[in-house]
Structure 1
Amino acid sequence: MSVNKKQKQLIKTARTTGVWYLMMAISGILGFMVFHSQIFVSGNPEQTLTNLIELESTARIRLLLEFAIVISQALTAVWFFKLFKDNYEWEAWTLGIWGMVNALVIMISAISMASAIGIANSDISAMKDKVVLIQVFQNIISNAWGIGGLFFGLWLFPMGYIVIKSKRMPVWLGRVIILGGIGYLITTVIRYTGIDISFNRFLILPATIGEFWMIGYLLIFGIRPSNE
């Protein structure tokens, strides 16, 4: 395959990766910022149960968005592996595997959501029993995403490393992504040590900036030729 043809194929792969990554971002934003708080009320399983019964269709939309996150995360991981495997095989495997772990973590959340919807709309007559079960599933959802922050951070390390080492994307993009990965790890550890720090949420801001920068670069530019 000629250099020109290979570069065009890589740009196509990069843009496909960007599409999957964008789908993951959109489904995540819709799921968490639009629908999640309409159904799952933190620390209030009684209200959550009421929402799951009275707003069942909304709850199912939230669940479908969780499916979309799982699928798009898995496809993003696979396409990143395809994009980088020829020159950075070990790093690409690490990026792909850790990205798939993210998808599995989110799948645990989706399974818990589906179970919560099923329990809420089941024939169990004792509301007290339903509340207890809803609380359990709600905690699993919260902790799947909370502890999942470990791998949400880890998969950014090989991504950022490849960007910096290859210089086929802006070097500062790689640095911001790695900084975001560090932020995710620190935030997760702080959260589970029980320390309440007001600025904790801002530690993942570099990850948000880096990931949207990556999405934009993949969609607009793709990837630079290897001789740049």
Structure 2
Amino acid sequence: MNVKTESTSSPKRLARIAGVFYLLVALFGGFAEGFGDPKMYVAGNAAATAANVLADPGLVRMIVVAHLVNAVFFILTAMAFYILFQHVNKSVAMAMLICVALSAGITTLNAVFQFEGLQVATNSSYVDAFGAAGSNALVLLLLDIQHYGTLSAQVFFGLWLAPLGYLAYKSGLFPKALGVTLVAATVYYLVHLITAFLVPDFHKQIQPFILIVIIAEVWLLGYLLIVGVRNVKPGKNILAAATV
């Protein structure tokens, strides 16, 4: 009897752990990408970008740290999901984990460029060497790299939702509609990324479809924290690996 209770509680515990990690990803990522980056970076305007960085260097440091912490919790989220889903399809679960690792790696590298932008803006030797205009241009270049690098990381940030959606759908641990919505969010991320580089005008027109991503991720996060996972009928033995 104790074994049965333990086996059914372990997946819920794993799901809620993943939910807490995913919540931290949302908080740190939302602060860094939703608030911090736009506050510093002004596309095509070197003087304004450098002025923003100089106006609040402490905030820039917080943004950089938030990017790094976000990447750590993103990896931890994927590891929790891997343990939860490896019994469904180990290869697909591994693909999910690899996508997250690549996305986190790109994000952490981009944070270095952002920090270097701060170094250039606050170090007078760059002004002495390149002049004010040249120093500002270098700050903008570094934040340009960080901006488009973060955008490029969406390749893998989007792709990880496809195997996650498949695993959620096949496992029976989550509503099948949630799995389908996660895969749809992958499609949006990839279209969003491609249009940003190829057809910027059309890229702006599809922004409202980000609602798909919001629904998918909020639904997943809420389900993890509130429900955990569905109770699976006895005899389906799909939780064996999750209880190891």
Smaller-chain TM-score bracket: over 0.9
Give the SS at the match of 1:151. Answer: helix
Q: Deviations over 1:173-194 (max 9, x none)?
A: 1111110101111111112112
Aligned partner letter, 1:17: A
Whose relative contact order is higher, 1 or 2, with alpha carbons under 8 Å and at least 6 apart?
Answer: 2
Deviation at 1:5, TM superposition (A): 0.7
Match of 1:218 among 193, 214, 224: 224
Unaligned runs of 5+ in 1: none
Please give the root-mean-square deviation of Cα atoms over the aligned residues, in Å. Answer: 1.7
- Describe how 1:174-213 pairs up with structure 2 within 5 A: 174-197=179-202, 198-213=204-219
Give the superposition deviation at 1:195.
4.3
Letter in 2 for 1:56: P
1:75 — aligned with what?
76
Does structure 1 conserve the Cα–Cα contact (< 8 Å) formed by 2:40 and 2:53?
yes
Corresponding residue for residue 105 of structure 1: 106
Q: TM-score, normalised by structure 2?
A: 0.87
**How far, CA to CA, are the matches of 1:47 and 1:132 in structure 2?**
10
| Aligned equivalent of 1:158 | 163
Percent identity for Structure 1 against Structure 2: 25
Runs of 4+ in 1 over 6 A off after TM superposition: none
- Match for residue 53 of structure 1? 54
Unmatched runs of 5 consecutive residues or more in structure 2: 235-244
Separation in 2, partners of 1:207, 1:69: 18
CA contact (8 A) 1:180 1:203 kept: no
CA distance in 2, matches of 1:5, 1:87: 19
Cα distance in 1 for partners of 2:83, 2:102 equals: 17
Give the whole-Å Cα distance in 1 for the aligned partners of 2:158 and 2:197.
15
Greater Cα shift, 122-131 or 139-148: 122-131
Residue type at the aligned position of 1:221? V
Structure 1 length as normaliser, TM-score? 0.93
Map 1:18-57 onto structure 2 (within 5 A): 18-57=19-58
Question: How many residue pairs get matched?
Answer: 228
Q: Distance in 1 between matches of 2:233 and 2:160?
A: 26
Do 2:57 and 2:118's aligned partners in 1 also have CA atoms closer than 8 Å?
A: yes
Q: Give the stretch that moved more between structures: 33-42 or 210-219.
A: 33-42
Q: Contact 2:96 / 2:163 at 8 angstroms: preserved in 1?
A: yes
Residues 60 and 115 in structure 2, CA contact (< 8 A), matched pair in contact too? no
